[in-house]
């Protein structure tokens, strides 16, 4: 157990629907990062939050949004889902805003299947 908790582990939904993925960082970590990993693809950075504030944004679609709450858990909202959104969504956390000392710790991911 990495200490980063992602729920749900699996999600199957229809096109056009909206889903929410949840991530709880390791105790003491202030930064949360969201990554998308499509089948046999690399890890695409979506967005980072640090202590409740958006810190960096990647190639995140306008249909996607995220937030980090006062208790530091984060949610990634995906709306108007398309077949191509099917992927593994990973959350990672780090102890500081600049994770150059310890690296990320990844959660186990949420596998989203859009049918």
Partner 1 sequence: GENVEQHPSTLSVQEGDSAVIKCTYSDSASNYFPWYKQELGKRPQLIIDIRSNVGEKKDQRIAVTLNKTAKHFSLHITETQPEDSAVYFCAASGTSGTYKYIFGTGTRLKVLA
According to the binding rule CB under 8 A, does residue 22 interact with partner 1? no
Question: Which residue's CB is nearer to partner 1, number 42 or number 70?
Answer: 42
Site size toward partner 1 (CB under 8 A) is 27
Is residue 2 at the binding interface for partner 1, with CB under 8 A as the rule?
A: yes
Of 84, 80, 108, 95, residue with least CA distance to 5: 108
Q: Judge whether 58 and 69 are in contact, CB under 8 Å.
A: no
Cα separation, 48 vs 111, in Å, equals 20
Nearer to partner 1, 15 or 59 (CB): 59
Site residues for partner 1, 47-106, by CB under 8 A, read 48, 50, 55-56, 58, 90, 94, 97-100, 103-106
Task: State in angstroms the smallest separation of the CB of 83 from partner 1.
Answer: 21
Radius of gyration of the chain (CA): 13
How does DSSP assign 76-99, residue by residue? EEE-S--GGG-EEEEEEEESSSS-
**How far is residue 34's CA from residue 45's CA, in Å, rounded to a whole number?**
6
23, 33, 49, 112: which one binds partner 1 (CB under 8 A): 33
* Site residues (vs partner 1, CB under 8 A): 2, 31, 33, 35, 41-45, 48, 50, 55-56, 58, 90, 94, 97-100, 103-109
């Amino acid at each position: 157990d990495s200490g980063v908790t992602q729920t749900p582990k699996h999600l199957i939904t229809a096109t056009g629907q909206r889903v929410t993925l949840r991530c709880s960082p390791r105790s003491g970590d202030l930064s949360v990062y969201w990554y998308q990993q499509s089948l046999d693809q690399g890890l695409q950075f979506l967005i980072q939050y640090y202590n409740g504030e958006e810190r960096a944004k990647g190639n995140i679609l306008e249909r996607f949004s995220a937030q980090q709450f006062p208790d530091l858990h984060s949610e990634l909202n995906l709306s108007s889902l398309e077949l191509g959104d099917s992927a593994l969504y990973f959350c990672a956390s780090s102890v500081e805003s600049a994770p150059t000392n310890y690296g990320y710790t990844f959660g186990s991911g949420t596998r989203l299947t859009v049918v």
